[in-house]
């Protein structure tokens, strides 16, 4: 059995569509410096580093060595982990394994992306299988859109139901000084925005952002001395299942990777009724329908009930289970950092450092990562040492 581990500090950049003022190394440095300051540590206190972004997006292959001037990993063990959209959460989980193993006491985790320096859609298309999928695949938007058409047909959910998720997250972003898109968007605005790939409109989908996120994890005994209220890892779960889209898209079953990962994490964390026992959720919802369908896959409400559950404001700030106080992925999407931002924002809530976006007395927080070929990572953090 591994050691218990907690998040003791987080840092992130002020996310923008384009950061011509910095290189990605300098962007990483901003996040790392701010995480060290948050934990009141110096770079010399860090024993190992785990870093990741989307493989080859900015044409950088050796991200671990390339990033050293930004990450501060000079003469330290560093490992690159890259798992598509889930990368940021997988990096956080790998950093957790590092500390839990007993080999390293304080571990720095970094996720970043400078989307302005890559052709995001082209790069995502090359992630698909060249023989079977690439000819018809056109990036993240249409493959998500297919899920939306199946969901609407199955449960009668409407485009307006989904747009409310976008309105919610974009409103929440106004409380987050780091969020990329800080202009509120209403259901009406989303419905009137241009159709990109039916039924996804411009207002339904995440932006491309430049940004970085860093987290510092510490092992039991050190975590308590470093942070007054550390965010303990209660459970992690990873489901990177298939690599062909057709294997992952049986919509009668739902998003199986998310169902399995969340069930496993709840069981490990001793959670029986997630909607009652969790206080806040930071979910990787890259488009609005995910805020309906996937909360069903996470067991936060019953099948086909999400439109009513969200419509009754259960997931807005002040509701039963606030989702994405940070504004979520629909407001900020620096891809390699996106899933880590979910874990970091969950930690911020548990540590009580959320400022205007703080959910009062948040004890248990759920974070998810999504990506690859409909894959899921789940992290559950708690103020209570497990």
Any contact of residue 132 with other proteins (CB under 8 A)? yes
Q: How far is the CB of 287 from other proteins (least distance, A)?
A: 11
Nearer to other proteins, 101 or 149 (CB): 149
Nearer to other proteins, 75 or 131 (CB): 131
* The binder of other proteins chosen from 81, 100, 110, 145 (CB under 8 A): 145
Nearer to other proteins, 261 or 281 (CB): 261
Q: Between residue 84 and residue 123, which ones bind other proteins under the rule CB under 8 A?
A: 119, 121-122
* The binder of other proteins chosen from 18, 40, 65, 153 (CB under 8 A): 153
Any contact of residue 141 with other proteins (CB under 8 A)? yes
Total Cβ atoms within 10 A of residue 137: 17
In the three-class reduction of DSSP (H, G, I as helix; E, B as strand; rest coil), residue 181 is classed as coil
* The binder of other proteins chosen from 101, 149, 193, 263 (CB under 8 A): 149
**Would you say 204 and 227 are in contact if contact means Cβ atoms under 8 Å apart?**
no
Q: How far is the CB of 144 from other proteins (least distance, A)?
A: 8
* The binder of other proteins chosen from 44, 75, 130, 361 (CB under 8 A): 130
**Would you say 77 and 104 are in contact if contact means Cβ atoms under 8 Å apart?**
yes
Interface map 193-222 toward other proteins (x if CB under 8 A) = --xxxxxx----------------------
Nearer to other proteins, 17 or 273 (CB): 17
How far, CA to CA in Å, does 180 sit from each of 104, 117, 172, 240? 34, 17, 12, 28
Any contact of residue 150 with other proteins (CB under 8 A)? yes
SS3 content of the chain, % helix, strand, coil (to 5): 40, 20, 40
* The binder of other proteins chosen from 146, 186, 193, 263 (CB under 8 A): 146
Cis before 199 (ω within 30):
yes
Any contact of residue 61 with other proteins (CB under 8 A)? no
Is residue 40 packed enough to be buried (19+ CB in 10 Å), middle (13-18) or exposed (0-12)? exposed
Torsion of CA 130, 131, 132, 133, to 10 degrees: 20
Any contact of residue 192 with other proteins (CB under 8 A)? no
Any contact of residue 143 with other proteins (CB under 8 A)? yes
Any contact of residue 60 with other proteins (CB under 8 A)? no
> What sign has the CA pseudo-torsion 291, 296, 300, 305?
positive
Total Cβ atoms within 10 A of residue 30: 20
**Would you say 360 and 280 are in contact if contact means Cβ atoms under 8 Å apart?**
no
Structure tokens at 136: 């018809």
Any contact of residue 242 with other proteins (CB under 8 A)? yes
Any contact of residue 74 with other proteins (CB under 8 A)? no
> What sign has the CA pseudo-torsion 52, 55, 60, 64?
positive
Size of the site for other proteins (CB under 8 A): 41
Q: Which stretch binds other proteins (CB under 8 A): 137-145, 180-188, 335-343, 344-352?
A: 137-145
Q: Between residue 286 and residue 305, which ones bind other proteins under the rule CB under 8 A?
A: none
Nearer to other proteins, 93 or 200 (CB): 200
Is residue 360 packed enough to be buried (19+ CB in 10 Å), middle (13-18) or exposed (0-12)? exposed
**Cα–Cα dist 8/225, whole Å:** 10
Q: Which stretch binds other proteins (CB under 8 A): 94-102, 140-148, 315-323, 368-376?
A: 140-148
Using CB under 8 A, list all residues that contact other proteins. 119, 121-122, 125-126, 130-139, 141-143, 145-150, 152-153, 195-200, 241-242, 244-247, 249-251
């Amino acid at each position: 059995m591994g050691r218990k581990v907690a998040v003791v500090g987080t840092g992130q950049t002020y996310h923008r569509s384009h950061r011509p003022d910095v290189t990605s190394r300098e962007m990483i440095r901003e996040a790392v410096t701010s995480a060290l300051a948050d934990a009141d540590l110096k770079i010399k206190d860090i024993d190992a580093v785990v870093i990741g972004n989307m493989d080859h997006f900015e044409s950088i292959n050796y991200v671990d060595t390339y990033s050293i001037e930004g990450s501060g990993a000079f003469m330290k063990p560093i490992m690159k982990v890259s798992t598509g959209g889930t990368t940021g959460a997988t990096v956080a989980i790998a950093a957790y394994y590092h500390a839990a193993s007993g080999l390293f006491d304080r571990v720095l985790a970094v996720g970043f992306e400078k989307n302005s320096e890559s052709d995001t859609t082209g790069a995502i298309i090359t992630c698909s299988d060249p023989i079977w999928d690439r000819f018809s695949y056109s990036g993240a938007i249409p493959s998500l859109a297919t899920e939306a058409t199946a969901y609407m047909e199955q449960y009668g959910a409407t485009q307006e139901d989904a747009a409310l998720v976008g309105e919610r997250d974009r409103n929440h972003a106004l409380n987050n000084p780091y969020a990329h898109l800080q202009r509120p968007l209403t259901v009406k605005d989303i419905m009137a925005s241009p159709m990109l790939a039916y039924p996804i409109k411009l207002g339904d989908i995440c932006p491309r952002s430049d940004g970085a996120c860093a987290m510092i994890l510490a092992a039991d005994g050190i975590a308590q001395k470093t942070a007054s209220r550390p965010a303990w890892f209660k459970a992690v779960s990873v489901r990177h299942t298939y690599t062909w889209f057709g294997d992952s898209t049986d919509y009668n079953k739902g998003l199986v990777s998310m169902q399995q990962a969340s069930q496993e994490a709840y069981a490990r964390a001793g959670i029986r009724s997630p909607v009652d026992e969790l206080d806040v959720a930071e979910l990787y919802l890259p488009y609005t329908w995910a805020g309906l369908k996937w909360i069903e896959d996470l067991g936060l409400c019953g099948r086909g009930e999400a439109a009513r559950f969200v419509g009754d404001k259960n997931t807005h700030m002040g509701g039963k289970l606030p989702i994405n106080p940070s504004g979520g992925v629909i407001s900020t999407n620096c891809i390699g950092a996106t899933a880590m931002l979910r874990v970091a924002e969950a930690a911020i809530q548990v540590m009580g450092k959320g400022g205007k976006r703080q959910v009062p007395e948040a004890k248990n927080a759920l974070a998810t990562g999504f990506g690859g070929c409909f894959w899921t990572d789940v992290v559950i953090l708690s103020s209570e040492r497990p």
